[in-house]
Each structure stands twice: as C-alpha cells, then as structure tokens.
Structure 1
C-alpha cells in the first residue's frame, strides 16, 4: 500500500490572477501557504484484479475504467491504464470550503500513483500534471495556484507568466516573524459549502471587462506589496492588505459575497480583526482573518462561527507510507 498526504492551502492575496484568461495577457501572482490540514490518498492492489475499487464520498466498484463516475479518477486512471487497484481518499476538511480540495485531491492522487509504480516525481511535475488534468482535460474553470500550493507546500510567492510557465519562490523571513504571522491568523467556518465552478466561470467571463482587469491588476500589486513586507519582517501592513484585497475580490463576480458574509466580515472588523477574506472562490467556506492574539477571543465570541485551529506547513505533497508490494 502507498499513502500520500497532501496539504490544503490558504491564499492571502492575488487569487483570480491565476486564470489563464488573465495571466496570458497581464501575468499573475499569488501569495499563499499550505496548512496542516490534509488529503490522504491510498493505493493498494485490489483482491480481485478484474475490478477497481474507489472510495471517496461515494463507493464505486467497476470492471471497466470507462465506467468510473468520479471525473478526476476517471481521467487519471484511464490515461495511465491503471486498474485492479483499490483507491481511497480521506480529508481533514470537506470539499467546497475554499481550501483547494479538488486540486489537493488531484495532486495527491498523481503522487500516489507515481509512487505505486515505483517512480520518482518532482513537485513541479505533480503541479503541472494536476493542472493538465483539471484545466485542460476536464475543462474546469479554475486557475493554477491550488495545484502548485499543494505540490510544493510552504509559504510561497507563485508567479504565473504570460508564456504559461510558473515559478514558485519561498518567502524568506525571520522565524520570529513567521511565528507571529501564524499566531495572528485565525480561521472560521461559515457553515456553508459551495461549488467554486459557478463563481469562477462568471469571474472568467468578467475578465474581458476593463474594470475587472484593473481590479485584478491591483490585487497583483497588493500581492507584491505583501511579499515585500514579509521579506522585510514587517507585519504592520499585512491586515490592511488583506482587507484591500478582499474589497477588490468581491467585485470580480456576483456570487463571491452576500449580505450574510458581508455582515460577518463587518462584525469581525469591529471586534479586533485588522483584515480578512473568504478563502477560495468565495460564496461560503472558510473566513481567514488577521487578528492579534489579545483580540482573538473577542473576535471569536462576536462572530459566533466555528473556529478551526491550523498551522502553516512546509512539506507539500509527501509519501507517508510504503507497504510491502511488488512494483508495477
């Protein structure tokens, strides 16, 4: 048996500029970090090699790979002609909550299959192939940041170049600044999940509008400012940049926010938060706020939402178990 562990991510600034319709014209960038919440994927030979068993939120048992209902599993297993296995996935957080679950699943699945076949794979290759599966083969209206965050891990500035290439630059900062940043971040679950595709499809269509393009360019500028502040060990402007980025993000598509979300955000800002945002495409999922520790209990009480403890992490997608088996 092979088991991979692949992290979810939080994106601080620049989300939306990783859509090809934007970065191919203007270039894009995102500042994000992986966190210690994970997707686990296991691959094991199935007892009856005529069948392939798949266990995720549903169970599938098929005698023909073309019958697989799960689109990502269908695409990856058919492309690699891998059958006669049992594949299971378990996640620390549910899908549709803004932490990049679909891409985390894809990266972890590819890593598990490479390892099951006894093949080494680089983090860059994992990210690139996950983008190929989700964006090019399955036509998902998503960007590229989640795949790179899941594969590489760590706190990174990710740049999306006009020629389609991507670079990942780790943020270098003093350990005490890193720890302070981590301690000043607090996350709450809104209680609702959503499909990102509807929001992202509208956002993708809106990129042709001058105002949307302008706002995305401003978000990239903010991401550059945030990167510079962290590298200079200056957290004084971090919350302010988060807030400015959120106000811009809300303009990109109609479903990103709603009155309930706006109210919760206003309550947070009135009770100690210095800035924040909804993670992922928006519409629900997790709120991330920058709030100094002495105000966090006040914020938690006022907002009245479920708090999720987390830490930033370094590793990216990793193989955490290799059992005894022959290599295919």
Structure 2
C-alpha cells in the first residue's frame, strides 16, 4: 500500500501554476495534515480492499483490471509509467474529492508509487512529484499546479520554489511547522462545507496572468508567509482577509455563499479572517479565530452548516506499505 497526505495551502497558492511561474520565480508554502489517500494493489479485490485502513467515515472502492480503462487516472498513470494492468486497485480516503485539500495530487502520488513498485521500480519523492504534475496537467489536461504533488511526496511544512522553466526545489520549513503545530485547533480551525467542487472548473475561470498580476501575487504570498511565521492569529487573520478579498475580486467563481455570511458577522464572533483552502468554490475553510473566543466561533460556524474538522500537522510525505518513507536526496530538500 502507498499512502500520501493531503495539505493546507498556506501562501502563494496559484503561483505554482505555469501561467504564473513562466513570468518569473514563484514560491508556495504548504502544510500536510493527518488526512490521507491510500492506494493498495493485489491480485484479488478482497485482498486489495483488506489492505486499506478503516478510518471512521472512510470512503473506499476497488478498480478491477477490466474496469481500469474506465478510470482516467489509473489509465493515464499506467501509460505514463509504461506499466501494464492485471491488478485490483483499492483506493481509500477519509475525505471526499473536491475538498480543496489537494486530494487529487495526493492520490496521483500514491497511485504512481504503487504502480511503479509493482513494476519493480522505486521512484524518489522528486520523481513522484514531477510525474504527479505531468499526470494531471499534461496527460489529463487539468489546469492544476505543482504544489499538491510536492507537498504529498515531501510532507510536513514545505516551501516549493519554482523557476520559469518549471523546475522546482522543495525544502522543509521547520519554523512554519512549529507555528502550525501550535495553532491548529486553537487559533486556526478547519471547517468543511456541505458541498464539494472541481478545482479544474474553478481555475478555468481564473483571469489571464500578466506582469502586474504576477507581481501582485508575489507580494501577497510574501505578506501571507510573514503573517503565518509571526504566529499571531490576528495578524494571520488580517492577511487571510486581504488574500480572500483579492482572490474573489479576480475570480468570483472562488466565492461561496457561506463565505459572505462569515464576512458579515466575523467581528461579532471573534473571527479575524478566513479563506477557502485550495482553488476555492467549496471544500474546506481555514479560519483564524481569537483563541479566547474559539467556542463562540465554532458555534457560529456550525450554525451556518459547516462541519468542524479537527486536524493536526503531519510531518511525513509519502509512506509505503511497510510504514517507511522514500529517502530524500538531501536532508531537507528535493529538486527536479
């Protein structure tokens, strides 16, 4: 079995798209959390399904060899790796698709890893991140960026620096990990909307990137990074407010009715700021709330129909069936 974690996008999200980094270098910060995609492989369906963990509320299904051609990701991954079929694949997760937590990128990393190992190959985290991006962007034609594959492959708090030619360097960010480990569940809360969305459809409505928009995105990413590293929930909330206002102004398809309700009453219930995680449209919201008014904020948000999702920072990237992780080429960084 191969397991890859999902992520919360912290800063620079969107600039991991080629439409941005073709204009110049960009950087993205992400944090993996304890929500996962698992992919198991076996000769028989029961064996594949039995290899999956059984998380509360977990979702699982099996792709039989005869049906592999009907599953776009499985077909594309096999073609990309030059691997034949013949196995039953079991896919499981605690989180439904369209969550905004980078699930498709995590699935791509886990899927590519299990198929490569079935073919006798062990790919590095950097190789898996690059292939995951190629799988979604080039083969399947989805307008996604590089962030999710790198976050899932490397894990923890990670900074991904992208060059105009698409090459990337992903490095661990211990300072960000420490801040997030302290704040998640206290001043930073994760909530789920009742609906999901396709990130590709949201991103398809994004405006064209010109030099001015590129410069604005870089400035916003730097401000958001500094806010999170401050560890001050009020400062983080102000950065999230500014980020969210700019995001919906540029692409109204990122907005959601519940976001407008939160904006109207946030000051009354101790909420400093928020954003929809990922491309937007629906999925999960990251809320910056006054720790002393946490319960008040939670009651207000659940009253809007949102579901509180307790998560913790997760320090690992891809894990293999025996619980080991592929070794990074260097202690704290990987490049491709």
Question: What TM-score results when the alignment is normalised by the length of structure 1?
Answer: 0.84
Give yes or no for the alignment of 1:309 onto 2:307. Answer: no
Change (3 A) 1:201 1:57: farther
2:198 alignment partner in structure 1: 195
Change (3 A) 1:14 1:120: same
Given that 1:30 and 1:159 are in contact with CA atoms closer than 8 Å, whether structure 2 keeps it comes out as yes
The offset of 1:230, in angstroms, is 5.2
- Map 1:257-276; keep pairs closer than 5 Å: 257-276=255-274
Given that 1:8 and 1:36 are in contact with CA atoms closer than 8 Å, whether structure 2 keeps it comes out as yes
Give yes or no for the alignment of 1:72 onto 2:73. Answer: yes
1:24 alignment partner in structure 2: 22
Provide the C-alpha distance between the structure 2 equivalents of 1:132 and 1:188, rounded to a whole number of angstroms: 30
The offset of 1:246, in angstroms, is 1.2
Give yes or no for the alignment of 1:145 onto 2:143. Answer: no
SS of the aligned residue for 1:21 comes to helix
Provide the C-alpha distance between the structure 2 equivalents of 1:160 and 1:176, rounded to a whole number of angstroms: 24
- 2:159 pairs, out of 150, 157, 160, with 157
Unaligned runs of 5+ in 1: 48-54, 323-328
- Map 1:95-110; keep pairs closer than 5 Å: 95-110=97-112
Provide the C-alpha distance between the structure 2 equivalents of 1:266 and 1:84, rounded to a whole number of angstroms: 55
- 1:243 pairs, out of 231, 241, 244, with 241
Q: C-alpha root-mean-square deviation of aligned residues, in Å?
A: 2.6
Given that 1:30 and 1:220 are in contact with CA atoms closer than 8 Å, whether structure 2 keeps it comes out as no
Given that 2:4 and 2:109 are in contact with CA atoms closer than 8 Å, whether structure 1 keeps it comes out as yes
Change (3 A) 1:174 1:112: closer
Change (3 A) 1:61 1:175: closer
1:50 alignment partner in structure 2: none
What does the per-residue CA deviation read over 1:119-156, in whole Å, with 9 as the maximum and x for residues that have no partner? 32211111001011111111111111111111111112
Provide the C-alpha distance between the structure 1 equivalents of 2:22 and 2:204, rounded to a whole number of angstroms: 17
Change (3 A) 1:148 1:101: same
Change (3 A) 1:98 1:174: closer
Count of residues in correspondence between the two structures: 306
Moved more, 237-246 or 30-39: 237-246
2:275 alignment partner in structure 1: 277
Provide the C-alpha distance between the structure 2 equivalents of 1:176 and 1:91, rounded to a whole number of angstroms: 26
SS of the aligned residue for 2:42 comes to strand
Given that 1:17 and 1:27 are in contact with CA atoms closer than 8 Å, whether structure 2 keeps it comes out as no
Unaligned runs of 5+ in 2: 46-51, 53-58, 324-336
Provide the C-alpha distance between the structure 2 equivalents of 1:78 and 1:26, rounded to a whole number of angstroms: 32
1:44 alignment partner in structure 2: 42
Change (3 A) 1:235 1:291: closer
1:318 alignment partner in structure 2: 319
